[in-house]
Chains A and B, each alone.
Chain A
Amino acid sequence: MSKELNPYLPRPASVNSVKNESLETKTLKLTLINWRADFLPGQFVQLLLPGVGEAPFCITSSPSDSKHIELTILRRGLVTTASQYIRPGDAVGIRGPLGKPFPLERFHGRDVLLVATGIGIAALRSLILYMLENRGKFKEVTLLYGARFPEDLVYRDEIRSWVERIKVMVTLSKATEQWSGLRGRVTDHLKDISLHKDVIAVVCGSPAVMESITNELIKYGLSRDNIYVSLERHMKCGIGKCARCLIPGGLLVCKDGPIFSASEISIRAIGE
């Protein structure tokens, strides 16, 4: 059996740099060793930490660099906890890119609203970087980013540079007194954004939050075809053979997703 034909075999990568984003979140920049990842925003990879296991992560870097990929990892489970101890120079395995990307051609020439809560921003960073590099292709771009505490915010330095080219709104639901920005949940601030039926919205966050945001956006008149969500499941194989990422409606997050439009799946399925 040749190596290329076996989709279960990871390909080698080494850790180039590690950046602390918040207390429990790190961004790993990986150098791919003798291979290139031709990916588009929205796709994911399986990261293998030798001796620990494998877990799926969204690629958070720009698709213009196919020799490196970046992954933003929040400490949550087995692999994510082990990944907190990774140092530059460590070797890891990568399978992918897997899944379907955002349908970018649908976004061209339109107003785009990106809504992220918590670590959900990681799934949108690749898209944001792509949009910044191809800014002329999109009309007004708004990022609405919600978190609980100030220390939960990630990509802080970058967001400061994004502000110049896209509209960014950051809101905290449990802000401290020093916080001078927006307060409350992301759904409280949708009224301040000009929303109409041609706006393309991308939503990523925890399942229950995505469900409520999607329902709100529909109330604001957005069409269901134009609302995209990025779903999370613990894919084991990533190629549709283990059925662990099956969602109501019978779609597989790894092969049919992880990006779905709200018309493809039932809204209840997003939060379930």
Chain B
Amino acid sequence: MLKLSKQELMSLVSELGRLGFEVIAPTRSNETVRLATLSSPSDLEMDYIRIINSPRDFLLPSRERLFKYRSTATVTSYGLKIRFPTVEGPCPVTIVPEYTPPKAKIAFFDIHPCMANSIRYLDKVMLSDPADPYYKARREDMFVAVLECEEGDEYCLCKTVETYKVPEGYADLMIRKSGGGFLVRARSKRGEELLASLKKAEVAGEPKDLVPKLKEEYAFDRTDEASIDERDASEYVDACTLCASCTVTCPTCYCADIEDKFSLMDPSNVERSRVRMSCQRKCYSMIAGGTTFLNTKDARFRWRLKHKFPFSERAYQLVGCVGCGNCIAFCPARIDFRKFLGRKVA
């Protein structure tokens, strides 16, 4: 464990940059704190509770090109004419994946434990067989430095879902505020090597896990599918505007759409991309012929919670909610699902 000043912490960031990492850290802009690629170490924001985006937006971008291929669509005076290519033609026998792996390895610096836990959940989903090659390429060699949380705001619920602890393998460094400086300890070999680059004397002691102080605490006892279906949700749903902020800011929402896109200027070059989709939208559950399975705000509210709790527990033995509270804090109607799933205990 080392005791570092903010200056020394910033030199760790520069060292990561020297090692070839793209350092992504919280920065302050327009009254919010958000994760962004750090252009200068002095932009590093160490004093924050909530970030509006999450590591998901870097590991699984909201729009990502899967590959490009050529088709023989042509634009005519009356619109677009799709002429299917024949086997002699250039497509799709010659589908060539045009994919460039990320330029630099990713390092998340100074993210809270809940966000580190969100990477664990995305790993479970994306690396389960068959692994997603695009996610895997970004995920490999990732470096994570976690800033332990001292206190949360009124929307945090990490104590309920126990995500204030960082599981093994999801932190290379643990940073804790102490007096005016920071106590930094390594949790992996790469973390040790990075700290060794500072050539500073070790401080004795092994600190205990820090349990954050939360303004409100809840206990969940109705997270099974039957209970979520049964309870009356009108109190929560009536105010919903279907803006989908809850799924946009959630660090574990990964539902996606895959679409073909081409420019009318050059319709033969088709791009196949994965685009994030929200279960709060009607088209999420639409099948051929226009049948939708989630027709009401009520059904979609329940669906989101079911996907986070019972469905994820069944498929991955892991709760999909990491307790960041973003879906409550950024909801324009402040719809608070915590009371729906449990009760307030403190």
Contact = CB atoms under 8 A, between A and B. Distances in A.
Interface of A: 1, 3, 5-10, 12, 14, 33, 48-55, 74, 76-77, 80, 82, 85-87, 89-93, 206-207, 232-234, 236-237, 239-244, 246, 248-250, 252, 272
Given A50-B72, A237-B256, A250 B93 contact: no
Contacts of B256: 236-237, 241-244
B286 interface: yes
Interface of B, secondary structure class, is mixed
B128 interface: yes
B310 interface: yes
B317 to A, nearest CB: 12
A237 B258 contact: yes
- 6 smallest CB-CB distances across A and B, nearest first, come from A250-B311, A51-B71, A50-B71, A90-B84, A76-B288, A51-B73
Nearest to A242: B256
- Report whether over half of chain A's contact residues are helix, strand or loop; otherwise say mixed: loop
Interface in B53-75: 66-67, 69-73
Given A51-B73, A51-B267, A91 B291 contact: no
B250 to A, nearest CB: 13
Given A51-B71, A51-B82, A234-B288, A243 B91 contact: no
B138 to A, nearest CB: 12
A246 B311 contact: yes
B91 A50 contact: yes
Contacts of A1: 97, 99, 101, 133, 137
Nearest to A87: B84
A91 B84 contact: yes
Interface of B: 66-67, 69-73, 82, 84-87, 89, 91-93, 95, 97, 99, 101, 125-126, 128, 130, 132-133, 137, 225, 254-260, 262, 267-268, 270, 272, 274, 277, 284-289, 291, 293, 306-307, 310-315
Contacts of A87: 84
B93 A33 contact: yes
B87 A89 contact: yes
A244 B291 CA distance: 14
A62 to B, nearest CB: 24
A21 to B, nearest CB: 16
Contacts of A234: 286-288
A8 B135 CA distance: 12
B92 A244 contact: no
Contacts of A55: 288
A9 B307 contact: no
5 contacts: A1-B137, A51-B262, A237-B258, A242-B254, A243-B256
A91 B85 CA distance: 6
A119 B254 CA distance: 32
Contacts of B284: 244
A32 B138 CA distance: 33
B253 to A, nearest CB: 9
